[in-house]
Every structure is written in structure tokens, then in C-alpha cells.
């Protein structure tokens, strides 16, 4: 027969020429919203106080009538949990596959055997750690979310708020309850959130209302459907932020509150909307820089490249009676 006969050959797929790709990952969006307290090795009590002056009639001379509350002191306790990430890579695993292209020439293996690959891989690894940290800082619970190793190592802000209690339940104040957030009810929910916010904090410069990306997107759609085009898509407004029309309520979408971070999350950890100011939400740690640094080394006896990152972490709330919370029921 004429031409080439190739029926006995397997189809060939080029494997070793394409550039290494990475998937997109979101970073630690929420951390700037919190107050960080450093130096906690295990447990520490943080003091706070309140005052309640009492106005009196001034009708006589030279009288002293001390009244009101001149200062009541109290404490919150922050007990940190140690968390870590560890991984190891054996360069010999790359030799028999197309991945050998990432190895330098020579049989000797050391920390420089796959420099370009490891730089790319570790950068991606850091990005994944930042993503885990973002949703754990909100949704982690040592008792409720043991099904996910990333959500059971310490208590995030939702669990801390539920533990301390005493917060403003938006649905109780509004006299309404919702089993889900939809484009039909989301605007009413955020309006009720604002109405439930204590007057004492409405003018606070650091006041913020946070929700998941899923809830935020429903709000944007509801506003545009109502012809309320208050969501700017230009550089004048930070990405994923908006003001509730007619108020000074800043709403920010944080990926850490997304309902789909884990489909197994209990209802209390989904569809949450929280209003607070920065000084109320406290992250306790030993050193902030521990969250941003790590150890990497090549272990000759194992012929492996290792990475280890460890830090201490917990969350807590000052003045929970001024925190407004929404949760579906």
C-alpha cells in the first residue's frame, strides 16, 4: 500500500514543551479588617473597660454626689492553638516522566536540582496556604467542623462569636427569619442589618459589614434589578466593596464567608453577615511574621526537599453586644 503505515503505533501527545500553569487562588482578604495582638505563647487575658456617667441637677453649692459608673473593668481570654504545614518532595520522582525537563543535568541531587520548578511550586503552595487561612479565620471550629482538617485546628470568628454570645441577632430585631438568601430578599436583609446596628457604632470610621462573595453577588444583582446602580465598576471603589444606598454602611465581600468553601459546613457557618468595627475583632498570635515565613531545606539523608510553616492563632471579640449577626435558619 502507498504511504506510511502507522496503525501499530500509539497516538502521541506532546508532554514536555508546554509551560507550567497555575490555577488562580484568592489571597488573605480579611486580615486587614482585624486587630492583631502579638506575643501570646499560650493564653492571655486582654482587659477592657466601660463607663456610664450620670447627668445630675446642679442646684446647690459645694456638694459632691458621686453617681454613675466611673469605670468597670473586664477581660477576654485568648488561648492560641499551634498550626503548621509540612510537605516534602523527592526529585527522583520526576526522573521517569516528562517532568525530568525540570531537573538539571547530573545524577547528584541537592537543593538546586529543580530550582525553577520549586520556586513555582512553593509560590503556589503559599497561595494555597493564604486561601486556607482566609476561610479558616472565619469558619474554623474545633468542635463543629472536624470533618475538614483545615477547619478544625483553631476557632475562627464565627465560632468565637457563638461561644461568647450576647451579639445582636438581626432577625430577632427585625422580627423576620429567612431560610436562604436570594436576589428577592437580599436587599431587605441588608437594610435590616443596618437597622439592627447599634447607634453607638454607626459613625465609627472602621465600621464594616462582611459577607461571602455569593451573598455579595446576589446583592449587586438585586440592586441592578431595582435600577439602583450604586455598585461602581471603576477604580473609584475598591474591588468587591460597596455602600448600602442611603447609608454609610460599607459592605465587603470576603471569600472566607463563602458558603461553598465546604459543602459539609453546618448551617451556622453559611450565609453569615456580620457588622462590626476593627477594634472589636481580635486575632491572637505569637508573631504576625510567623504567618508570612517558613523553613525550607534539603535533607541529604532523605534526598528530599522539605517545607515547614508553623504559627499560633486564635480569634476573639471585644464588646459582642455591638456586633450584628445574620444567619439563615
Q: What is the pLDDT of residues 43-90, one digit of tens each?
A: 999 988 888 888 877 777 766 677 766 778 888 999 999 999 999 999
Residues 327 and 174: their CA atoms lie apart, in Å, by: 13
Look-up: residue for cell 530550582? Answer: 115
Q: How many helices (H) and strands (E) does the chain have?
A: 5, 13
Q: Give residue-wise pLDDT tens across range 28-47.
A: 689 999 999 999 999 999 98
pLDDT tens sequence across 163-220: 999 999 999 999 999 999 999 999 999 999 999 999 999 999 999 999 999 999 999 9
Provide the grid cell at 206: 472602621
Give the model's pLDDT for residue 40. Answer: 94
What tens digit of pLDDT does each residue of 118-130 get?
888 888 888 899 9
Mean pLDDT of the 141-161 span? 97
Question: Among residues of the chain, what percentage have pLDDT more than 70?
Answer: 86
Instruction: Tell me the pLDDT of the chain averaged across its residues.
Output: 87
Residue of 296, 311, 300, 301 lying closest to 121 (CA atoms): 296
Q: What string of DSSP letters covers 178-203? A: -SS--TTTHHHHHHHHHHHS-GGGTT
* Cβ atoms 94, 100 nearer than 8 A: yes
CA distance 133 to 290: 13
For residue 14, the model assigns a pLDDT of: 45
CA distances for 134 relative to 7, 57, 106, 192, 229, angstroms: 53, 53, 41, 27, 30
Select from 258, 223, 227 the least CA-distant residue to 244: 223
Q: What is the pLDDT of residue 288?
A: 85
What tens digit of pLDDT does each residue of 11-26 get?
A: 544 455 445 454 444 4
Q: Report whether pLDDT(285) > 90.
A: yes
3-state secondary structure of 83: strand
Amino acid at each position: 500500500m502507498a504511504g506510511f503505515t502507522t496503525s501499530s503505533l500509539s497516538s502521541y501527545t506532546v508532554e514536555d514543551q508546554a509551560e507550567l500553569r497555575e490555577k488562580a487562588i484568592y489571597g488573605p482578604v480579611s486580615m486587614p479588617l482585624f486587630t492583631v495582638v502579638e506575643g501570646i505563647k499560650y493564653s492571655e487575658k486582654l482587659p477592657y473597660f466601660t463607663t456610664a456617667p450620670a447627668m445630675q441637677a446642679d442646684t446647690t453649692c459645694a456638694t459632691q454626689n458621686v453617681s454613675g459608673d466611673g469605670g468597670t473593668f473586664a477581660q477576654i481570654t485568648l488561648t492560641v492553638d499551634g498550626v503548621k504545614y509540612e510537605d516534602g518532595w523527592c526529585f527522583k520522582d520526576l526522573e521517569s516522566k516528562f517532568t525530568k525537563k525540570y531537573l538539571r543535568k547530573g545524577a547528584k541531587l541537592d537543593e538546586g536540582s529543580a530550582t525553577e520548578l520549586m520556586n513555582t511550586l512553593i509560590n503556589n503552595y503559599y497561595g494555597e496556604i493564604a486561601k486556607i487561612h482566609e476561610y479558616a479565620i472565619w469558619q474554623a471550629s474545633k468542635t463543629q467542623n472536624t470533618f475538614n482538617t483545615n477547619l478544625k485546628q483553631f476557632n475562627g470568628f464565627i465560632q468565637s462569636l457563638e461561644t461568647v454570645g450576647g451579639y445582636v441577632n438581626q432577625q430577632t430585631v427585625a422580627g423576620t427569619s429567612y431560610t436562604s438568601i436570594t436576589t428577592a430578599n437580599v436587599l431587605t436583609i441588608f437594610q435590616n442589618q443596618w437597622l439592627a446596628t447599634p447607634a453607638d457604632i454607626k459613625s465609627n470610621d472602621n465600621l464594616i459589614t462582611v459577607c461571602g462573595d455569593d451573598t455579595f453577588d446576589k446583592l449587586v444583582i438585586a440592586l441592578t434589578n431595582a435600577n439602583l446602580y450604586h455598585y461602581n465598576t471603576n477604580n473609584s471603589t475598591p474591588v468587591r466593596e460597596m455602600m448600602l444606598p442611603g447609608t454609610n454602611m460599607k459592605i465587603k465581600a470576603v471569600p472566607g464567608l463563602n458558603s461553598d468553601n465546604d459543602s459539609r459546613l453546618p448551617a451556622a457557618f453559611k450565609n453569615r453577615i456580620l457588622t462590626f468595627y476593627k477594634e472589636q475583632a481580635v486575632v491572637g498570635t505569637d508573631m504576625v511574621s510567623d504567618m508570612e515565613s517558613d523553613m525550607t531545606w534539603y535533607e541529604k539523608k532523605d534526598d528530599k526537599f522539605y517545607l515547614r510553616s508553623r504559627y499560633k492563632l486564635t480569634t476573639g471579640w471585644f464588646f459582642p453586644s455591638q456586633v450584628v449577626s445574620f444567619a439563615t435558619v
